[in-house]
Chain A
Amino acid sequence: MAQQESLRPELLCVIVRHGMGGKVLRKGKQLGFKGATIFLGRGSKDYKSRRLHKFDLSESRKEIVLILAERRTVEETIGTLSAHFRFDRPHHGIAFRMPISEIQGSSQFANTTGEKGGKNPMYKAIFVIVDRGRAEDVIDAAYEAGQKGGTIIKARGAGAHETQKLFRMEIAPEKEVVLLLVKVEHCEHVTASIRKRLELDKPGNGLLFTQEVTEAYGLLSEDGTEKE
Chain B
Amino acid sequence: MTVNRGYGDFRRSALLEKTREVLYSVLPVTLIVVLLHATLTPLETAVLVRFLVGALLVVFGLTFFLLGVDRSIAPLGDLIGERIVRGNRLGPFVIVVFILGFVLTLAEPGLVIFSGQIESSTAGRIDAFALLMVVSIGIGAFLVLALLRIVFKLALYKLLVLLYTLILILGFFAEPEFVVIAFDASGATTGVLAVPFLLAISLGISRLDRSSLSQEQSSFGTIALVSVGAILAVMLYGTFRADTAFIEAPSNHEALNDGVFRVYLHTLSDALFETVLVFFPLFFVFIVVQLFFIEFDPRRFQRFMGGFAYGFSGLFLFLLGVNAGFLEVGSQIGGDLAASGVYVYSIGVAFLLGVVAVIAEPAVYVLTHQVEDVTSGYVSRAAVLVALSIGVGLSVALAALRVFIEPLEVWHYLLPGYALAIGLGYFTPKTFVGLAFDGGGVATGPVIATFVLAFIHGAADQVASADLIRDGFGMIAMVAMMPIVTLQLLGLIFQLKSKKKGV
Contact = CB atoms under 8 A, between A and B. Distances in A.
B6 A148 contact: yes
Given A57-B67, A171-B210, A221 B3 contact: yes
A127 B418 CA distance: 50
A170 interface: yes
Nearest to B154: A168
Contact of A57 (B13, B90, B151, B209): B13
A46 B151 contact: no
Nearest to B382: A19
A182 B13 contact: no
A52 B6 contact: no
B7 A44 contact: yes
A149 B503 CA distance: 39
A151 B14 CA distance: 14
B5 interface: yes
B207 A174 contact: yes
A117 interface: no
B5 A168 contact: no
Interface residues of A, number: 56
Interface string B1-18: 111111111111111010
Contacts of B430: none
Nearest to A108: B503
B45 interface: no
A45 B372 CA distance: 21
Interface in A128-147: 142, 146-147
Given A56-B71, A147-B4, A180-B4, A168 B13 contact: no
Given A150-B4, A167-B88, A52 B13 contact: yes
B498 interface: no
Interface stretch (A58-66, A73-81, A97-105, A200-208): A58-66
A55 B309 CA distance: 11
A94 B6 CA distance: 11
B208 A219 contact: no
A121 interface: no
Contacts of B67: 57
Given A56-B303, A227-B2, A91 B11 contact: yes
Contacts of A15: 5
B85 to A, nearest CB: 5
Given A56-B303, A60-B14, A171-B209, A46 B503 contact: no
B373 interface: yes
Given A44-B7, A58-B7, A183-B2, A169 B150 contact: yes
Q: Which of B7, B88, B373 has the most CB of A within 10 A?
A: B7
A170 B209 CA distance: 6
Interface string B117-151: 00000000000000000000000000000000011
A98 B5 CA distance: 18
A163 interface: yes
A31 interface: no
Nearest to A146: B1
B348 interface: no
B86 A58 contact: no
Nearest to A171: B208
Given A38-B377, A60-B13, A222-B3, A46 B8 contact: yes
Nearest to B375: A40
Contact of A167 (B9, B71, B152, B207): B152
B306 interface: yes
A46 B6 contact: yes
B376 interface: yes
A106 to B, nearest CB: 10
A181 interface: yes
B9 A48 contact: yes
A90 interface: yes
Nearest to A122: B2
Given A57-B14, A57-B15, A166-B85, A148 B4 contact: yes
Contact of A221 (B2, B85, B151): B2
A83 interface: no
B13 A169 contact: no
Interface in A191-228: 218-222, 227
A172 interface: yes
A149 B2 contact: no
A21 interface: yes
A40 B150 CA distance: 24
Nearest to A48: B6
Given A39-B376, A57-B13, A167-B85, A221 B8 contact: no
Interface in B45-99: 67, 71, 85-86, 88, 90
A219 B4 contact: yes
A172 B13 contact: no
Given A57-B14, A58-B14, A148-B3, A168 B9 contact: no
A163 to B, nearest CB: 6
A152 B82 CA distance: 21
B251 interface: no
Contacts of A120: none
A17 B71 CA distance: 20
Contacts of B377: 21, 38-40, 63
A156 interface: yes
A3 interface: no
A224 to B, nearest CB: 9
Contacts of A38: 376-377
Contacts of B212: 156
Interface in A24-54: 38-40, 43-46, 48-49, 51-52
A156 B213 CA distance: 13
A147 B5 CA distance: 9
A4 interface: no
B5 A56 contact: no
Contacts of B151: 166-169
A43 B2 contact: no
Given A59-B13, A59-B14, A60-B12, 17 more contacts: A38-B377, A44-B7, A48-B9, A58-B7, A58-B9, A91-B9, A94-B5, A142-B4, A149-B4, A163-B210, A167-B85, A167-B88, A168-B151, A169-B210, A170-B210, A182-B4, A227-B2
8 contacts: A38-B377, A51-B10, A52-B10, A57-B13, A60-B14, A166-B88, A183-B2, A222-B6
Q: Which 6 A-B pairs have the closest CB atoms?
A: A43-B7, A167-B151, A91-B12, A171-B208, A172-B210, A149-B7
